[in-house]
Structure 1
Amino acid sequence: MRKIILLFAVLAIVSCETEKKDYVTLNGKLKTPGIEKLTVQGRDFSKEITVNSDGTFSDTLKVSDGVHAISSGNDRVTLFLKNGYDLSMEFKGENLADGVLFNGEGAETNNFMQNKRAFYMSDKANPKSYFTLDKEAFDTKLAAAKSELKGYKDKAQNLDSVIVVMDARNDEMFFGYIESNYESMHETLTRLGKGKASPVFTNYENFKGGKTSLADLKGKYVYIDVWATWCAPCKAEIPSLKALEKEYAGKNIEFVSISVDKPEAHETWENMVGAEQLGGIQLYADNNFESQFILDYGINAIPRFILIDPAGNIVDADAPRPSDAKIKELFTELGI
């Protein structure tokens, strides 16, 4: 009888050990002091996690399986959560966005995502870094990028199927864009390379009155923002552009915004420039996307930023956005 009881006890223990949890366990330690809480958000899910005074945190989450974000204010990192995961997060830097090393159940999928994120946040995923190369160098760099991503995939044999599908789609879109646009973009960027004479615009309507041409701005660097009132990414850059204009006020640089709105949106443009108190030189292109200046630069997507030197030559035909720290690095390099 005792043996039977012991047998049932063993079976009960085994059952408890193999029963899958219907929640996620998440723990880690932040390197940034003073953070009191983290927010985890996903599809139909949001929960705040308390952070202890020493930066440690631990909590259980009953989630809808899928991609989530863990954040502190605007600092955030993406992770994949699935009920049953038991994840420990080791942060690589003071910011969440600096990256994470995961350990425990679910670590393989999440570390794979971190590797892919690092790739797509690097210059290896900057189309311009491919388009500026000659064909031989282009083929070499493209093959190296594909090999690197394949290596991440080969090391992660047990990825969640949702991530497998998403990952394949993302890579297909990225490499498809690079390969299908190489010839046309290479020609454009070669023609519009650093030091080449910039295409010009002439007599564009100035919001403050009169007409303005690129020739009027010679003697100064010119940072051009090609945008439109309907363009959400364009409008998202406005706060950063305003801050940049304020920081470089009085320097040897003019900030020029060229709207490619259609004629029927002219009043909308005027109202927005006035209401948002947009600074710099606000111009209205003479024929929206069909304006010769826009065609000469091969612009078919906005926002697009261009930097021209005091002599009217191109510094960068596809310059960093105002929100990108690299623009200030470029200004510093030029002595602006």
Structure 2
Amino acid sequence: MNKLFVTGLLIFSALNVIGQAKNQVKFTAKITNRNSDTLVIKGNDNFKQVIPINKKEIFVASFDAPKGFYVFSDGTESSRLYLKPNSEVNLTMNAKEFDETIVYKGKGVDESNFLAQQALRNEKFEEAFTKEPAEFTALLEAKKKEDAESLEKGKFDPEFVTAMKSNFERFTQYSLENYERAAKANKLTGKPSPDFDYENHKGGKTKLSDLKGKYVYIDLWATWCAPCRAEIPYLQKIEEKYHGKNIEFVSVSIDKLKDNEKWKKFVVDKKLGGIQLFADKDWESEFVTNYGVTGIPRFILIDPNGNVLKADAARPSEPELQAQLDTLLK
């Protein structure tokens, strides 16, 4: 299951409070195994608060922030939080177990703790997408009940409750759509993969059928996609490890045509390896629609005969991928 599915459903607009005289938030974070010396909080209307670490290795800042939903990032991963005027937010976590260890203490943090726990519930639900239709439906209904009961138990801001109820509805709808997508992708397993014929960054065009005789690991991505960019360092390490083996690594950008030059520059600036291709019609490209792609990054694994091994393969950052490649390429 694509993690973008889980995180993407919690993107909200900030809930601005008209006439609020004082919007200041006091924010403190103590993070072990941190990925960066800077925390960044982003919100609606281009809100951005950069918080550097101090000499005591704590992130501390006071800033004005309208009531609403925000995202904080440690440079590698991100999570949602809810800020209210006059809040005193004290965050602790272990960056090596990012989502699992987030705890907020202080004033006005109940909503943020709810979001942290909700993210874990959503992630756990990913297992449901491997189940048969009847079991998937039962698990989805159970989750809907658990979400509603968890929201009712808390004493949350009324606007937060309204937003979360709307989010639950979107989650249900998106879950149903993605289950159908996953079912469509699974039907491709063992069958000949749809082909493509795309612009190659090095010149000319490349077809998937040109690569028969080798395993092919395909990365569907875009320059604007943050989760896609986060996978790049891991993909580069995978490419290095299996260099010279019977496998090709193919990255297919689904950026819009107007961003073709941006894609070319990105490939050069980031020193991207493998075979770098540019899809012909972004999201509407036939190869993309044939695989039922609704979110990126998306990874696909093809065998030397051109048949689909995994229509929704593991990410480079997931140990599962290396385990599978080790078996295939031994």
TM over 0.5: yes
- Measured after TM superposition, the shift of residue 146 of structure 1 is 1.6
Cα displacement (A) at 1:197:
2.1
The amino acid across from 1:189 in the alignment is A
1:225 alignment counterpart: 219
Rg larger in structure: 1
Stretches of structure 1 that go unaligned for 5 or more consecutive residues are: 1-20
User: How much has 1:254 moved relative to structure 2?
Assistant: 0.4
SS in 1 for 2:225: helix
Query: How many Å separate the matches in 2 of 1:116 and 1:52?
Result: 33
In 1, the alpha carbon distance for the partners of 2:260 and 2:103 equals: 51
Residues matched between the structures, number:
302
Instruction: Identify the residue that residue 189 of structure 1 maps to in structure 2.
Output: 185
Q: Distance in 2 between matches of 1:258 and 1:57?
A: 38
**What is the alpha-carbon distance in structure 1 between the residues aligned to residue 48 and residue 260 of structure 2?**
42
Give, as a single letter, the amino acid of the residue that structure 2 aligns with 1:309: D
Structure number with higher relative contact order (C-alpha < 8 Å, ≥ 6 residues apart) = 2
Within 1, Cα distance between the matches of 2:51 and 2:255?
43
Identity %: 33
Q: Are the equivalent residues in 2 in contact too, given 1:40–1:68 (CA < 8 A)?
A: yes
Specify the alignment match of 1:307 in structure 2: 301
| Counterpart in the other structure of 1:178 | 175
- The residue identity in structure 2 corresponding to 1:46 is Q
Q: Which residue of 2 aligns with 1:15?
A: none
Q: d(CA) in 2 for partners of 1:308 and 1:295?
A: 17
RMSD of aligned Cα (Å)? 4.4
2:105 corresponds to 1:109: no
1:334 CA displacement: 3.2
Against the structure 1 CA distance between its residues 210 and 57, is the aligned structure 2 distance closer, same or farther, given a 3 Å change threshold?
closer
Change (3 A) 1:210 1:141: same
Write the distance in 1 (CA, Å) between the matches of 2:27 and 2:202.
56
For residues 285 and 38 of structure 1, the distance between their equivalents in structure 2, rounded to whole angstroms, comes to: 35
Following TM superposition, by how much is the alpha carbon of 1:206 offset from its aligned partner in structure 2, in angstroms?
5.2
8 Å Cα contact 1:28/1:56 also seen in 2: yes
Q: TM-score, normalised by structure 2?
A: 0.68
Unaligned runs of 5+ in 2: 1-21
Tell me which residue corresponds to 2:9: none
Asked if 2 retains the 8 angstrom alpha-carbon contact of 1:22 and 1:83, the reply is yes
Q: Which amino acid aligns with 2:300?
A: I
Q: How does 1:59-78 map to 2 (within 5 A)?
A: 61-69=63-71, 72-74=74-76, 77-78=79-80
User: Residue type of the partner of 1:31?
Assistant: T
Structure 1 equivalent of residue 120 of structure 2: 118
Q: Is the 8 A contact 1:45 1:64 kept in 2?
A: no
Cα distance change on mapping 1:296 and 1:274 into 2, 3 Å: closer
Which residue of structure 1 lines up, in the alignment, with residue 325 of structure 2? 334
SS at match of 1:318: coil
TM-score with structure 1 setting the length: 0.67
